[in-house]
Amino acid sequence: MAGVNKVILVGNLGKDPEVRHLEGGTAVASFSIATTEVYKDKTGTRQEQTEWHNIVVWRGLAEVAEKYLKKGMTIYLEGKLRTRSWDDKEGHKRNSTEVVGDTFTILSKKDSPSSGNAEQTDISGPKTGDDLPF
């Protein structure tokens, strides 16, 4: 049976995307998104819990992210979870789980991140399967 690996996030960018280009010219952008859950605890006190999600987008989508995404903007993002492993400088095994974005929609203008008048821009990456270079 095939599995499903699908992530949907709506949140705010914690910083501008950082874009780098690999040896072959492939663009990769990294940024973080904060999602906040608001609830009332047993005493009725309002609580907030914020989670930070590390996002990676590739190729054309990375270039679009670099051009249009700015810190504080609200976006809708779809992607999948990936875990990377590597050895650090001291030889210890490290793991990192991130969301590899397939598509995102900008829900706010860059000059007014919390604006109630959301401007939507749909941006999708190519559906090329799992040909990521890591």
Residue 70, burial from CB neighbour count under 10 angstroms (0-12, 13-18, 19+) = middle
Q: What pLDDT is attached to residue 125?
A: 57
Q: How far is residue 91 from each of residues 85, 88, 95, 101, measured CA to CA in Å?
A: 12, 5, 13, 30
72 alpha-carbon distance from chain centroid: 13
Of residues 111 and 134, which shows the higher confidence score?
111
pLDDT grade for 132, boundaries at 50, 70 and 90: very low
What are the tens digits of pLDDT across the range 17-52?
999 999 999 999 999 999 999 999 999 999 999 999
* Residue range 84-108: mean pLDDT, rounded: 94
* Residue range 66-94: mean pLDDT, rounded: 95
Cβ proximity of 68 and 17 under 8 Å? no
Q: What pLDDT is attached to residue 19?
A: 97
Q: What pLDDT is attached to residue 7?
A: 97
Q: What are the beta bridge partners of residue 7?
A: 79
Q: What pLDDT is attached to residue 36?
A: 95
Q: What pLDDT is attached to residue 127?
A: 46
| Distance separating the N- and C-terminal Cα atoms of the chain | 25
Residue 2's contacts (CB-CB under 8 Å, 6 or more residues apart) are none
Q: What pLDDT is attached to residue 1?
A: 80
Other beta carbons within 10 angstroms of residue 23's beta carbon come to 6
